[in-house]
Amino acid sequence: MTTYLFPFATANFRVNIFSWSDLLFAPAFLYIIYRLCENIYKKKYADVSYGKYFMLAVKVKLVCIVMYWAINKFYYKGGDTYVYYWHILKIKQLLFEDPATAYNILFNSEDFQTMLYMRDYFLNYGTYIYDKSSYIVILVGFFLSFISFFSYINISAIMAMFALLGCWRVFKMFREMYPHLEREMAIATLFIPSVMYWACGIMKDSICIGFLGVLTYATYELFFKRKNIFFNIIYIAVCVWGLVQIKAYIILAFAPALAVWVFARYRYTIKSPFIKALATPVFIVVAMISGVGVLTLMGSVAEKYAFENMMRTAQDTQNWLVFSSQMSGSTSYYNLGNVEYTTSGMLKLFPKAVNVSLFRPYIWEAKKPMLIPAAIEGIFTFFLTVRLLFRAGFLNFFKMIASNPEVQFCLVFSIIFAFAVGFTSYNFGALARYKIPLMPFYYIALFILSDSQKKEAALQVKN
């Protein structure tokens, strides 16, 4: 049984991250997951052309689950994912020692007496349980642990498969709209290495990728297909609640993208040229007013999402990441130059923040082995983007974007999200994980635009 020292604590902090029983239970558990997925494949996807991607994605995901555990165990020797696991084990221990207090920690953690007990019980190591978003992950992991023998690998596997469910939903949606791009959609949603790898552990990322995918598919069915209205409303409500609790900025990026998507889709159904032309400026004005209203509302409901507090949080996060990186001797942090925490200051840094999320670290900035895959992925993303711009032409590139609602949806979400994580991460290692929600959507947009460019080029040859 192996133990590791966690760097965030001021005193020695040790946790058992792998037990000998895992040698028996973990392979058996992963095999059960595989067989369950195989049964789903035979019932739903064996007779459809895109079904081949389902089991391939499952196999890749299972490999990534084991890789994620092994790299954290032998390379990082700890990290956030194991801190979540430690909290799960501590609550399990308390459940047998004092069930009433364990119940209060799980369901009444804001009670003053409970908080005092938590301070003593978790000592200096329980900071995660006081953070609402981290608390949700601990809570989900704790309940999953009952069907996974309290094994880290098994709990991770369930969360990872939920993330895969979200990715599969996005694949199904875009494959349905663009069946001739089936292979490209599979690559974008199911086989981007960073997305498959980082959405594997007991982490916020695994849960959020799952929620985001289900939310995207449910909004598509509700607004455009008008199917399963009751259940899709429930799915949307649950996913929005979950994302707001864990990573609210995903919703802040998703909401305007969805608004653009719905407007662009319905705009094409307007037959009157006058009304169609009038609709665009009206929508822009309404969108701007709604955006300010949403931020104001969120600021009144949750103080940390008020604009001034978001800027303060961003500044604190940046300062901490740079300081902690320097203290640990890390060379994986970056900066965007002088930052003015104002609206105009953020607009100045917008291109830099988006660039760092999409294309960095550059290969010469990857000074750690674990950053090399991120750098290679950045090179590939940069190559696809520049090639498309070169082939389509600058003006025609934006013309193609303006003519496709799905591309507009994907780019609005991915660009806003790229700015958010690029502006706040300030560490390439953290950025590689934080940016995974945007990657499928950005690649989908690139593949659709590339297909449009090829069709235009073919038409020009014929004429």
Query: Which tokens hold the place of 310?
Result: 């978001």
Average pLDDT over residues 445-455: 94
pLDDT at 290 over 60: no
Q: What is the pLDDT of residue 298?
A: 46
Q: What is the pLDDT of residue 338?
A: 74
Q: What is the pLDDT of residue 95?
A: 87
Query: From residue 305, how far is each of 251, 252, 277, 310 by CA, in Å?
Result: 12, 10, 35, 6
Q: Tell me: the pLDDT tens digits for 122-181?
A: 655 556 777 788 889 999 999 999 999 889 999 999 999 999 999 999 999 999 999 999
Query: From residue 66, how far is each of 78, 202, 234, 394 by CA, in Å?
Result: 15, 13, 33, 43
Straight-line distance from the first to the last Cα atom of the chain, in angstroms, rounded to the nearest whole number: 71
How many C-beta neighbours within 10 Å does residue 38 have?
Answer: 14
Query: Are the CB atoms for 313 and 423 separated by under 8 Å?
Result: no
Residue type, 162: F
Q: What string of H, E and C letters represents the secondary structure of the chain?
A: CEEEECCCCCCCCEEEEECCCHHHHHHHHHHHHHHHHHHHHHHHHCCCHHHHHHHHHHHHHHHHHHHHHHHHHHHHCCCHHHHHHHHHHHHHHHHHHCHHHHHHHHHCCCCHHHHHHHHHHHHHHCHHHHCHHHHHHHHHHHHHHCCCCCCHHHHHHHHHHHHHHHHHHHHHHHHHHCHHHHHHHHHHHHCCHHHHHHCCCCCHHHHHHHHHHHHHHHHHHHHHHCCCHHHHHHHHHHHHHHHHHHHHHHHHHHHHHHHHHHHHHHHCCCCCHHHHHHHHHHHHHHHHHHHHHHHHHHHHHCHHHCHHHHHHHHHHHHHHHHHHHHHCCCCCECCCCCCCCCHHHHHHHHHHHHHHHHHCCCHHHCCCHHHHHHHHHHHHHHHHHHHHHHHHCHHHHHHHHHCCHHHHHHHHHHHHHHHHHHHHCCEHHHHHHHCCCCHHHHHHHHHHHHHHHHHHHHHHHHC
Distance from C-alpha of 353 to C-alpha of 365, rounded to nearest angstrom: 16
How does residue 198 score in pLDDT terms, banded at 50, 70 and 90? very high
Angle between helices 182-190 and 52-71 in degrees, nearest 10:
20
Distance from C-alpha of 425 to C-alpha of 428, rounded to nearest angstrom: 8
How does residue 80 score in pLDDT terms, banded at 50, 70 and 90? confident
How does residue 260 score in pLDDT terms, banded at 50, 70 and 90? confident
pLDDT at 386 over 90: yes
Distance from C-alpha of 438 to C-alpha of 429, rounded to nearest angstrom: 16
Average pLDDT over residues 19-42: 89
Q: What is the pLDDT of residue 134?
A: 86
pLDDT at 67 over 70: yes
How does residue 8 score in pLDDT terms, banded at 50, 70 and 90? very low
pLDDT at 381 over 90: yes
pLDDT at 310 over 70: no
Query: From residue 86, how far is each of 208, 285, 448 by CA, in Å?
Result: 21, 49, 44
Query: Are the CB atoms for 264 and 405 separated by under 8 Å?
Result: yes
Q: Tell me: the pLDDT tens digits for 225-234?
A: 998 999 999 9
- pLDDT > 70 fraction of the chain, expressed in percent and rounded: 76
- pLDDT > 90 fraction of the chain, expressed in percent and rounded: 46
- Using a 10 angstrom Cβ sphere, with 0-12 exposed, 13-18 middle and 19 or more buried, the burial of residue 294 is middle
Alpha carbon of residue 315 to chain centroid: 22
How many C-beta neighbours within 10 Å does residue 124 have?
Answer: 11
Count CA atoms closer than 13 A to 236's CA, side-chain side.
Answer: 17
Average pLDDT over residues 304-312: 51
- Using a 10 angstrom Cβ sphere, with 0-12 exposed, 13-18 middle and 19 or more buried, the burial of residue 375 is buried
pLDDT at 239 over 60: yes
pLDDT at 60 over 90: yes
pLDDT at 414 over 60: yes
Query: The whole model's pTM is what?
Result: 0.88
Q: What is the pLDDT of residue 44?
A: 92
More confident residue, 436 or 77: 436
Average pLDDT over residues 372-384: 95
Left, alpha or beta for 337 (phi > 0: left; psi -120 to 50: alpha)?
left
More confident residue, 419 or 21: 419
Query: From residue 439, how far is each of 7, 67, 390 by CA, in Å?
Result: 30, 21, 21
Query: From residue 17, how far is each of 165, 242, 430 by CA, in Å?
Result: 26, 27, 22
Distance from C-alpha of 136 to C-alpha of 42, rounded to nearest angstrom: 34
Q: Tell me: the pLDDT tens digits for 312-363?
A: 555 556 566 555 555 555 566 787 777 666 667 777 888 898 999 999 999 9
More confident residue, 399 or 111: 399
Distance from C-alpha of 133 to C-alpha of 114, rounded to nearest angstrom: 18
How does residue 114 score in pLDDT terms, banded at 50, 70 and 90? low
Q: What is the pLDDT of residue 7?
A: 39
Q: What is the pLDDT of residue 3?
A: 38
Q: What is the pLDDT of residue 311?
A: 55
Q: What is the pLDDT of residue 337?
A: 74
The chain-wide mean pLDDT, for the chain, equals 82
Distance from C-alpha of 259 to C-alpha of 257, rounded to nearest angstrom: 5
